Structures are given as structure tokens and as C-alpha cells.
Structure 1
Amino acid sequence: MAIRKARQGKKSVAKNQTDTYYFDVEKCKFCPFREGCYKSGAKSKSYFVSTKSNEHNEQAKFQETNDFKEKSKERYKIEAKNSELKHRHGYDFSTSLGLVGMEMQGAMAIFSVNLKRILKLMG
């Protein structure tokens, strides 16, 4: 039913290509499947389908494994700790210049969070 098909995106790149289909609006007016597809008064109609790259296919397969599901159940604990470091202990941006200053700030932030945890576990 499409009057034109175009492929967009580069080949052999980690990004996905898309196939875009263009339709004649005059045919859409009388199509039995126009409910939810064709809006009256539209001047053009197009539909695109994304073609997954190899990297995306591999990631989708990995997300179906039991290993990934087990790791994702533990992720919220790590994310909560990272959030505490960033928002409560100033780990979101550097307050001093140079790598040494950044290392010192990181060490102090992580030390204070660990100290808080030790005190909580002791008491």
C-alpha cells in the first residue's frame, strides 16, 4: 500500500537504520484500518520501522538471561548509594582544581559515607 519506501541512517555504524514508508492520503481515507492510523485533514502519512543493529540485538539477548535479571535485582542498592554520594556529600561536581583535588574529594566523600554506615551497623 505504500507509495514510497526510504531507508535512513548509515550502514555498518552502531546506530539503527530505519525503513520509512510513505502512504497516499487518498487511499487512507477509504482504508478499513484507518481507525487510530489516519487523522482526518492530514496532508501526509508515514510510518517507520527501526532495524536493530548487532549491538542492540546482543544487548536484548543479554537482558533475557538469568545473570542479568539477578544483577538488576541488586542494582537499586548501588544506585541508592551513588545518589547519597552525589546529593548529600557533594560528589556530583568537583569543588577543587586538578586530579589530586578530585581524588581527595572523592576519598573524603566515600570515607564519610562508609563511616556513617559503620556507625549505623554498630549502633
Structure 2
Amino acid sequence: MAFQETEYFKDKSKERYKIEAKNSELKHGHGYDVATSSGLLGMQLQGAMAIFAVNLKRILKISE
């Protein structure tokens, strides 16, 4: 409770919504929430492809 009253916590909590919005887009829009293949390599590839797709969409949106 005492930590939540510090200026550091208040500053960081103001920026957190930006990160959560990006995480939500990855999970709900690109299948980052559920593994579609088994094994660590498959999960890493799925994560890399989801992040790549989101970044590519952002680049294309900026360049328009």
C-alpha cells in the first residue's frame, strides 16, 4: 500500500495503459493468447510471427 502512494508508482501507472492496449491487440487480434502448436520452438515461432504482424501493421499505418 505504501508503494502505491509513491510518485514512481503513480508515474508508471499513467503509462501502463499504453502497454496493456498493445498486449490486448496481440492477444485478441493475432492469437498470442493460446498456443496453436506444441513445443517451445512452435510457441516461439508463433510469438515472433504475431509480433512481426503487429509491427508490420503499425509501420504500414504510419507510412500512409
Same fold, judged at TM 0.5 (above): yes
Displacement of 1:122 = 1.2
Q: Deviations over 1:32-72 (max 9, x none)?
A: xxxxxxxxxxxxxxxxxxxxxxxxxxxx1111011110110
Specify every segment of 5 or more residues in structure 2 that has no aligned partner in the other structure, as ranges. none
Q: Which residue type is aligned with residue 108 of structure 1?
A: M
Does residue 1:122 correspond to 2:58, yes or no?
no
Residue 120 of structure 1: CA displacement? 1.1
Aligned identity (percent) is: 75
Provide the C-alpha distance between the structure 1 equivalents of 2:25 and 2:55, rounded to a whole number of angstroms.
11
Q: Kindly state the Cα deviation for residue 89 of structure 1 after the two structures are TM-superposed.
A: 0.1
Greater helix fraction, Structure 1 or Structure 2: 2
Distance in 2, matches of 1:70 and 1:113, equals 27
CA distance in 2, matches of 1:122, 1:65: 40
4+ runs of 1 displaced by more than 2 Å? none
Structure (1/2) with the larger strand percentage:
1
Q: Read off the aligned partner of 1:119 and give its amino acid letter.
A: L
Give the aligned residue type for 1:100: L
TM-score normalised by L of structure 2: 0.96
Q: Distance in 2 between matches of 1:78 and 1:97?
A: 27
Taking the aligned partners of 2:62 and 2:14, their CA distance within structure 1 comes to 23
Higher relative contact order (CA 8 A, sep 6+): 2
The residue correspondences of 1:1-123 to structure 2 (distance < 5 A) are 60-123=1-64
Aligned residues: 64
**What TM-score comes out, normalization by structure 1 length?**
0.51
Over aligned residues, Cα RMSD in angstroms?
Answer: 0.6
